[in-house]
């Protein structure tokens, strides 16, 4: 009972155990190497005694660190990009150069550290098909300030950003974070030419009508290390090319966008049209046309517009003033809060992960999504208190709540789902507004959400 109450208050299992563990006197603390060695050699049968023995020799902080290490939960909320930026700043290096070297080397990056510390030459990542850091866009917040004559306009397609590279006899496909995803999309990789080039584009599935299919179709291909013949046949992928980064051994990234675009058009014309096509430019004469295009794009797989300065080089990262993205206004629906779970890190004391549902035809609430953000710190405190005051059941770390609170959920799209009883799932859902003023029986229905998907 004490442990359950303590865990409910603390919000982290490892921290709760480290605080409640009885202090032991006299034994010396194990070194990190000793702890790792003991954990590695432990068997399923001996593990409880090994962990208990190590905990007995540690103080509260040490026990917390050990449990996080042993359970694989020693996580830091930092992306790989941040690690590379920190490395570059620490040694006074150009982050773009670090990015390109990083992806051509292997952990623990001894040659990279030696070069950064002045102990060795600049490492050679080789001449193979290497990753080049992507250029990213800023959200457009003041469209009226954009000089239309200085920009090119493209549709923003709803797929995943990818980079197709051929060099030194190698053909590879990279994701936005630099992961090699060639094995997941062998049909596209096989269609890459022998001549060296590096294409930036959007990975999409081609539907039966020859047009891009929904993101739901692409999801069937994601994270499949070895897709079978049926999947390759039913969900063929292609790359809608945005930019040309290199060709025939020449780095084109410092050329202005309009020059790269001309080279891109010529390069794509020589590729397999079933696997590669060109992202079309959109002709917009004034700001009214820009707003209209963003609000009513010609295809459901378009998320909005991209605005690219005609004179912009291809620069790694998100550089202000060069590329902009102006996404469509999100969909919104009113849902009913069903379940809540504690968050992680600084949110571990709050219920901040919320499952919500819509009404089915039989009058039952059916889950359609889960949201972790969209609310302010004050709204999080309010929601946390509401969950605690209206809990009707507990399932481990999850609380079921009274079906009484309506929340307005914003989202980007709808897809089919085998995980939810509703058969639907929302894409990128977030809480837009707490509707404490609205009765739960006036929330939206699964049927209405399905109509959005069909539309």
Query: What tens digit of pLDDT does each residue of 33-55 get?
Result: 898 899 889 898 998 999 988 99
CA dist., res. 86 & res. 95, Å (int): 9
Which residues are catalytically annotated?
Answer: 156
> E strand or H helix at 227, and its extent?
none
CA dist., res. 328 & res. 322, Å (int): 20
Say if residue 1's pLDDT is above 80: no
Tell me which residue has tokens 């949201």: 371
Average pLDDT, rounded, for the chain: 89
Q: Which residues, including other chains, have CB under 8 Å from residue 98's CB and lie 6 or more apart? A: 84, 87, 88, 112
Nearest to 156 by CA among 174, 173, 138: 138
SS3 content of the chain, % helix, strand, coil (to 5): 35, 30, 40
pLDDT score for 25? 64
Phi, psi values for residue 411, rounded to 5°: -155, 165
Tell me which residue has tokens 């992928």: 237
Lowest mean pLDDT among 19-23, 80-84, 264-268, 445-449: 80-84
Say if residue 77's pLDDT is above 90: no
Say if residue 452's pLDDT is above 90: no
For 375-401, the pLDDT digits (tens) are 999 999 999 999 999 999 988 778 999
pLDDT score for 76? 59
Helix axis angle, 95-104 relative to 80-91, nearest 10°?
120
Across 418-447, average pLDDT: 89
**Beta carbons within 10 angstroms of residue 261's beta carbon:** 21
CB 99 within 8 Å of CB 87: no
For 123-152, the pLDDT digits (tens) are 987 777 889 989 999 999 999 999 999 999
Tell me which residue has tokens 């902009």: 324
pLDDT score for 215? 85
Helix residue spans in 130-214 (DSSP H): 186-190
For 160-184, the pLDDT digits (tens) are 999 999 998 899 999 988 888 999 9
Lowest mean pLDDT among 3-17, 100-114, 367-381: 3-17
Nearest to 186 by CA among 154, 214, 221, 234: 221
The confidence band for 454, taking pLDDT boundaries of 50, 70 and 90, is low
Q: In 3-state terms, what secondary structure has residue 435?
A: strand
CA dist., res. 288 & res. 308, Å (int): 18
Tell me which residue has tokens 């294409």: 199
CB 323 within 8 Å of CB 307: yes
Q: What percent of the chain has pLDDT over 70?
A: 96
pLDDT score for 171? 95
CA dist., res. 132 & res. 104, Å (int): 10
CB 284 within 8 Å of CB 307: no
Collect contacts of 246-251 with beta carbons under 8 A, ≥24 apart: 246/132, 246/165, 246/167, 246/196, 246/197, 246/198, 247/195, 247/196, 247/197, 247/198, 248/195, 248/196, 248/197, 249/167, 249/196
Say if residue 26's pLDDT is above 80: no
Q: What angle do CA 157, 278, 166 make, to 5 degrees?
A: 105
Q: Which residues, including other chains, have CB under 8 Å from residue 359's CB and lie 6 or more apart? A: 336, 365, 366, 441, 443, 444, 445, 446
Say if residue 80's pLDDT is above 80: no
DSSP state of 286: S
Tell me which residue has tokens 């995943």: 160
Lowest mean pLDDT among 92-101, 120-129, 186-195, 343-352: 343-352
pLDDT score for 82? 80
Q: What percent of the chain has pLDDT over 90?
A: 57
Tell me which residue has tokens 């020693």: 74
The confidence band for 8, taking pLDDT boundaries of 50, 70 and 90, is low
């Amino acid at each position: 009972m004490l442990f359950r109450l303590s865990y409910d208050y603390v919000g982290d299992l490892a921290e709760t155990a480290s605080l409640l563990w009885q202090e032991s006197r006299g034994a010396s603390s194990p070194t990190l190497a000793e702890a790792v060695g003991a954990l590695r050699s432990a068997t399923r049968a001996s593990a409880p005694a090994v962990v208990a023995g190590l905990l007995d020799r540690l103080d509260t902080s040490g026990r917390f660190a050990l449990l996080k290490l042993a359970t694989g939960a020693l996580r830091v909320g930092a992306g790989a990009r941040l690690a590379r930026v920190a490395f570059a700043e620490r040694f006074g290096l150009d982050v773009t150069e670090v990015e390109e070297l990083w992806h051509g080397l292997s952990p623990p990056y001894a040659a990279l550290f030696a070069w950064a510390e002045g102990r060795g030459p600049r490492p050679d990542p080789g001449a193979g098909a290497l990753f080049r850091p992507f250029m990213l866009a800023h959200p457009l917040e003041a469209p009226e300030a954009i000089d239309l004559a200085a920009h090119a306009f493209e549709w923003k397609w709803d797929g995943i950003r990818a980079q197709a590279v051929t060099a030194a006899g190698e053909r590879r496909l990279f994701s936005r974070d630099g992961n090699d995803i060639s094995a997941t999309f062998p049909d596209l990789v096989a269609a890459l030419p022998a001549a060296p080039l590096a294409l930036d584009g959007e990975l999409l599935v081609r539907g039966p009508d020859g047009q891009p299919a929904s993101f739901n179709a692409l999801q069937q291909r994601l994270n499949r290390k070895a897709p079978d013949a049926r999947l390759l046949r039913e969900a063929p992928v292609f790359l809608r090319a945005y930019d040309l980064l290199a060709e025939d051994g020449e780095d084109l990234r410092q050329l202005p966008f309009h020059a790269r675009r001309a080279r891109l058009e010529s390069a794509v014309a020589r590729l397999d049209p079933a696997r590669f096509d060109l992202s079309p430019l959109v002709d917009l004469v004034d700001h009214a046309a820009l707003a209209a295009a963003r609000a009513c794009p010609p295809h459901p797989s378009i998320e909005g517009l991209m605005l690219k300065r005609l004179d912009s080089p291809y620069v790694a990262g998100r550089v202000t003033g060069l590329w902009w993205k102006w996404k469509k206004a999100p969909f919104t629906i009113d849902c009913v809060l069903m379940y809540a779970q504690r968050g992680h890190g600084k949110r571990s004391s709050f219920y901040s992960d919320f499952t919500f549902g819509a009404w089915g035809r039989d009058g039952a609430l059916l889950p359609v999504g889960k949201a972790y953000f969209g609310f302010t710190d004050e709204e999080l405190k309010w929601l946390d208190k509401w969950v605690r005051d209206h809990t009707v059941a507990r399932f481990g770390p999850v609380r079921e709540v009274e079906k009484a609170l309506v929340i307005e959920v914003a989202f980007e799209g709808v897809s089919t789902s085998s995980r939810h009883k509703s058969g639907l799932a929302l894409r990128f859902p977030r809480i837009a507004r707490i509707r404490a003023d609205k009765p739960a029986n006036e929330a939206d229905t699964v049927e209405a959400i399905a109509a959005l998907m069909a539309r």
